[in-house]
Structure 1
Amino acid sequence: MPTSPTLADRLALRERPAGRPLMYQDWGDLLFMHWPVPAEVIQPHLPPRLQVDTYDGMAWLAIVPFRMWDVRSRVTPPVPGVREFLELNVRTYVHLDGVPGVCFFSLDATNALAVWAARTFFHLPYFRAQLTLERPTPERLHYTGHRVHNGAPHAHFSATWHLGEVLPPSEPGSLAFFLTERYCLYAACEKGQRLYRGRISHDPWPLRSVELLNFESDLVEGHGLPPVVGEPVLHAGGPLHVSLWALQRV
């Protein structure tokens, strides 16, 4: 089996890639919800060649709701109506040739044009959804939604969380670093026969502690995975400015 990335491999990805980014975005109001899962449960669901990335022998499955704004391309003029929207993704962590990254099982978003563009040009499993984010107090967020994409499996999500204290920067080698410091995504098409890698660049996540007040979802089960069980590892993140580079076939 391919060797897992070293800490040096992970830290190297913090360096900004060469060349000019394709897109810029800002991310915030984000909640990382992570559950440990046996690696052998995740591996059969990955595209060929990708290997599940583990921490202390366990794979990790995440649900991540957040808000995206100031979305713009370097190569096209601003498009009205697509500069801000909500997104909700289900993800795990993988590696290929020593390069760790994110593999998405699904990404739900409120903007139809953004969904089309991401599916067409980034080969990512985006779906149209009705999502809402409410902030009844500065420290409390309530995020709900359900999928409305034609032909896609039903999915719904609801969570309310309370923001806690500001956390120190994640220490390299720690679980928080493993879960949140990800600077690469993988995408596959043609049933996994073509695999792509995309680089992203941003500062390390500014994190806060979280109290989860309620949570309901069937997003994970829709991918043929067992339901998540137990209390998740939680981090709130953002705001953060992000640069994205064009996909490269690997």
Structure 2
Amino acid sequence: MPDFSLPSALLAEPGAPTLASRLAMRDRPPGAPLLRQEWGDLLFMHWPVPAELLQPYLPPRLTIDTYDGMAWLAVVPFRMSKVRTRISPPVPGANEFLELNVRTYVHLDGVPGVWFFSLDATNALAVWAARTFFNLPYMRATMSMESPSAQLRQFKAERTHVGMPEASFRATWSIGAPLPPPAPDSLAFFLTERYCLYASNKAQTKLYRGRVAHAPWPLCAAKVLHYESTLIESHGLPTPEGLPLVSAGGPVSVELWPMQRV
């Protein structure tokens, strides 16, 4: 019988997810997904921050998810491709684009997930659809990703969304050797094994949960060679201290289910 007791690093406030519930999120949800897509060329950049710093930014009922008493703030650039609905092929011009998000990790009723402070994207249709139908804070931006070699990525972004705070991002990173699958009680598992997202309306009076399904991230070691950004600061958050914890990921084939009010 597997030992699903909660390790000390994940001990947190009452109502926090158990290790069993975190592992259960890997199971594919019932029913048909709404969208299918692929995520690749991804860089995880994570900084530990005090939970009390981020909690005021969340809507009521959501609680910051912590590991060893700390919350984690992330900036994640990546490439989205093969975007299509469950019953349609990819639409030329709308099926591949770059995305960049600022996120943290939360839970509600024992269900762990992701909370997005912002999601910048190059595709106007995707931004409109995500804001309209998913209540997600997508914003228009110009972006580019270059691959000078198989092990090197260069990503640039400038937010262009009217009425939103200006923000920019520049990063160059190298991709190293593949990493072993993270242990279920590890920090890497806590940060990357996320199969649920939360969103709210603008007034933060309604809360929504959406499920995603994909194979666990194939992770590689990574090293950030250059980084400058005002993304985190555009939300009124202080610049994180120290170097981020980084890893590269993808590609993974992803299914997304409709958002449900919770």
Tell me, yes or no, whether TM beats 0.5: yes
Measured in 2, the distance between the counterparts of 1:79 and 1:204 equals: 27
Q: Is residue 2:230 matched to residue 1:197?
A: no
Offset of residue 211 of structure 1: 1.1
Partner of 1:227: 239
Partner of 1:96: 108
Q: 1:141 to 1:190 in 2, by over 3 A?
A: closer
Normalised by the size of structure 1, how large is the TM-score?
Answer: 0.98
Q: Is residue 2:135 matched to residue 1:123?
A: yes
Q: Which of 53, 66, 86 does residue 98 from structure 2 map onto? A: 86
Offset of residue 78 of structure 1: 4.1
RMSD: 1.0
Partner of 1:173: 185
Q: Which of 24, 38, 48 does residue 36 from structure 1 map onto? A: 48
Q: Is residue 2:39 matched to residue 1:27?
A: yes
1:200-233 per-position Cα deviation (integer Å, ceiling 9, x unaligned) = 0000000000111010001001111111120101
Identity among equivalent positions (%) equals: 65
The 3-state SS of whatever aligns with 2:231 is coil
Count of aligned pairs: 250
Offset of residue 177 of structure 1: 0.1
Give ranges in structure 2 of 5+ residues lacking alignment: 1-12
The 3-state SS of whatever aligns with 1:108 is strand
Partner of 2:10: none
Q: Which of 20, 23, 30 does residue 18 from structure 1 map onto? A: 30
Offset of residue 76 of structure 1: 5.2
The 3-state SS of whatever aligns with 2:198 is strand
Q: Which letter maps to 2:238? A: P
| Aligned structure 1 segments of 4 or more residues deviating by more than 6 angstroms | none
The 3-state SS of whatever aligns with 1:89 is strand
Partner of 2:194: 182
Partner of 2:77: 65
Q: Which of 128, 142, 145 does residue 133 from structure 1 map onto? A: 145
Measured in 1, the distance between the counterparts of 2:209 and 2:15 equals: 19
Q: 1:4 to 1:235 in 2, by over 3 A?
A: same
Measured in 1, the distance between the counterparts of 2:203 and 2:45 equals: 28
Mean Cα deviation higher: 43-52 or 69-78: 69-78
Give ranges in structure 1 of 5+ residues lacking alignment: none
Measured in 2, the distance between the counterparts of 1:63 and 1:125 equals: 15
Q: Which of 102, 112, 118 does residue 106 from structure 1 map onto? A: 118
Normalised by the size of structure 2, how large is the TM-score?
Answer: 0.94
Partner of 1:160: 172
1:167-214 per-position Cα deviation (integer Å, ceiling 9, x unaligned) = 001110100000000000001004110000000000000000011101
1:97-153 per-position Cα deviation (integer Å, ceiling 9, x unaligned) = 000000000000000010000000000000000000000011000001110111110
Measured in 2, the distance between the counterparts of 1:140 and 1:78 equals: 28
Measured in 1, the distance between the counterparts of 2:178 and 2:90 equals: 34
Q: Which letter maps to 2:46? A: H
